[in-house]
């Protein structure tokens, strides 16, 4: 982690925006720090989310062990640096809360929830016959044939099962995940890589093993996937996302995409959206691929594939070289599945960004946060258990 900022109070820039004391402000002001492009919401009517308030805050959250303190849903939300939280059941708002200057119109940085946005587009292009996930990545982007991705398939990349060497150690300034930020101008150039742009940086990555092996979480996979989708769809990311996804969900605002110095999207973690628009997107995954306005965004077949509990996925996840702290979990189509018992899908981003999607109860919970640390199990896992407690309550009480 970079040292504390010595800049003037209120000043945010590429050097200090990720300092712990600045995250609460910077995540709500990315367009003032980095270049961005807008993904149009289109001309469709905004889908209104009707309010049907429920008393959920006092629900008890199951303990992970007998030594854990007793917690309520409200207690977990209060203790986990929550900027905003929204619980939507069958398209109706049960609970909505904003903190820390957040409002219903605020665009908040999604970090790696962005990956699920890109994965949704992959599903839409596959449904349209423009993307074959079993093809080699280099079929769509010829330049990848001369990189570490030479023999990787699109499916390998979707499920983060390539053999690429890429460290996701956020607190290591020399990890590839941090060097990528330097390459795209989202962090000061230290000379290690230089400001070469997203796509040129991806071409420097090398394979450390065969593709199609164990799951390993690597942000670069989504950036390569975005490149592939642009080629397969024949347009820019902002054009394709608007046409196939964002214009179909009845969003209230444009999606804001952070970009590099050449206008290429920061696909792995640079999107920004409102709380309610994320709920509108999440509903697609709990409603067979259909948005709240009835528009089919992705096919039921893609949804079925995403939620299928394939033994190979469990094995790939269990054999991951990193400790994901999700025993029995899996990863599919740019989405986490941390609990095989609930089989709920979770879009996750560092510093506490989440969309919880449970088709069994048609429940969507969105939480936007400003955790000081990128990863914090003491905040993540109680939050997931709180979401599961809400889902269980709805299952039992309707």
The per-residue pLDDT string of the chain (398 residues; one tens digit each, 9 = 90 and over) reads 333 333 344 799 999 999 999 999 999 999 999 999 999 999 999 999 999 888 899 999 998 887 788 899 999 999 999 999 999 999 999 999 999 999 999 999 999 999 999 999 999 999 999 999 999 999 999 999 999 999 999 999 999 999 999 999 999 999 999 999 999 999 999 877 888 999 999 999 999 999 999 999 999 999 999 999 999 999 999 999 999 999 999 999 999 999 999 999 999 999 999 999 999 999 999 999 999 999 999 999 999 999 999 999 999 999 999 999 999 999 999 999 999 999 999 999 999 999 999 999 999 999 999 999 999 999 999 999 999 999 999 999 87
Residues 176, 167 contacting (CB under 8 angstroms) = yes
| pLDDT on residue 8 | 42
Structural domain contains residue 23: no
Residues 79, 69 contacting (CB under 8 angstroms) = no
Structural domain contains residue 345: yes
Number of domains in the chain: 1
Structural domain contains residue 21: no
Q: What is the largest CA-CA distance in the chain?
A: 58
Structural domain contains residue 12: no
**DSSP per position, 129-154:** TS--TTSBHHHH-GGGGGSTTTT-BH
Residue 100 lies in domain? 35-397
| pLDDT on residue 68 | 80
Structural domain contains residue 9: no
Q: Among residues 308, 290, 279, which one has the least CA distance to residue 91?
A: 279
Task: Using DSSP, state whether 364 is helix, strand or coil.
Answer: strand
Rama region for 300: left / alpha / beta (φ>0; ψ in -120 to 50; rest): alpha
Structural domain contains residue 27: no
Catalytic residue numbers read: 112
| pLDDT on residue 191 | 79
d(CA 212, CA 227): 20
Residues 175, 193 contacting (CB under 8 angstroms) = no
Q: Among residues 213, 204, 265, which one has the least CA distance to residue 235?
A: 265
| pLDDT on residue 178 | 95
Residues 298, 127 contacting (CB under 8 angstroms) = yes
Residues 267, 281 contacting (CB under 8 angstroms) = no
| pLDDT on residue 3 | 35
Indicate the pTM of the whole model. 0.96
Please count the other Cβ atoms lying within 10 Å of the Cβ belonging to residue 45: 7
Structural domain contains residue 121: yes
CATH of the domain at 218: 3.40.710.10
Residues 179, 295 contacting (CB under 8 angstroms) = no
**DSSP per position, 49-105:** -EE-----TTPEEPPSSTTSPPEEHHHHHHHTTEEEEEEEETTEEEEEEE-TT--TT
């Amino acid at each position: 982690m970079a040292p504390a900022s010595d800049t003037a109070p209120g000043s945010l820039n590429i050097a200090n925006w990720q300092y712990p004391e600045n995250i609460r402000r910077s995540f709500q002001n990315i367009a003032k720090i980095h270049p961005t492009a807008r993904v149009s919401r289109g001309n469709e009517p905004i889908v209104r989310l009707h309010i049907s308030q429920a008393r959920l805050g006092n629900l008890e959250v199951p303990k992970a062990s007998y030594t854990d303190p007793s917690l309520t849903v409200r207690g977990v939300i209060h203790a986990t640096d929550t900027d905003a939280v929204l619980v939507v059941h069958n398209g109706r708002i049960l609970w909505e809360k904003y903190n820390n200057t957040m409002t219903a119109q605020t665009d908040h940085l999604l970090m790696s929830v962005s990956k699920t946005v890109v994965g949704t587009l992959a599903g839409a292009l596959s449904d349209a016959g423009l993307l074959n996930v079993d093809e080699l990545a280099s079929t769509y982007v010829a330049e990848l044939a001369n990189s570490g991705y030479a023999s990787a398939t699109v499916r390998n990349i979707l499920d983060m099962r390539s053999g690429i060497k890429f460290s996701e150690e956020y607190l290591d300034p020399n990890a590839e995940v941090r060097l990528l930020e330097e390459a795209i101008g989202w962090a000061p150039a230290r000379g290690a890589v230089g400001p070469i742009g997203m796509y040129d940086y991806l071409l420097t990555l090398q394979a450390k093993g065969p593709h199609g092996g164990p799951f390993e979480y690597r942000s670069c996979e989504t950036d390569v996937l975005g490149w592939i989708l642009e080629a397969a769809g024949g347009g820019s990311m902002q054009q394709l996302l608007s046409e196939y996804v964002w214009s179909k969900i009845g969003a209230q605002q444009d999606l804001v995409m952070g970009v590099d110095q050449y206008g290429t999207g920061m696909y792995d973690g640079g999107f920004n959206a409102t709380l309610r628009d994320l709920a509108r997107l999440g509903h697609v995954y709990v409603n067979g691929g259909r948005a709240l306005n009835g528009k089919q965004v992705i096919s039921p077949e893609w949804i079925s594939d995403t939620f299928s509990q394939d033994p190979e996925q469990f094995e790939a996840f269990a054999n991951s070289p990193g400790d994901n702290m999700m025993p029995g979990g899996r990863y599919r189509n740019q989405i986490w599945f941390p609990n095989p018992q609930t089989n709920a899908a979770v879009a996750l981003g560092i510093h506490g960004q989440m969309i919880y999607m449970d088709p069994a109860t048609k429940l969507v919970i969105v939480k936007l946060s400003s955790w000081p640390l990128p990863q914090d199990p003491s905040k993540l896992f109680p939050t997931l258990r709180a979401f599961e407690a809400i889902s269980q309550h709805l299952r039992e009480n309707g």
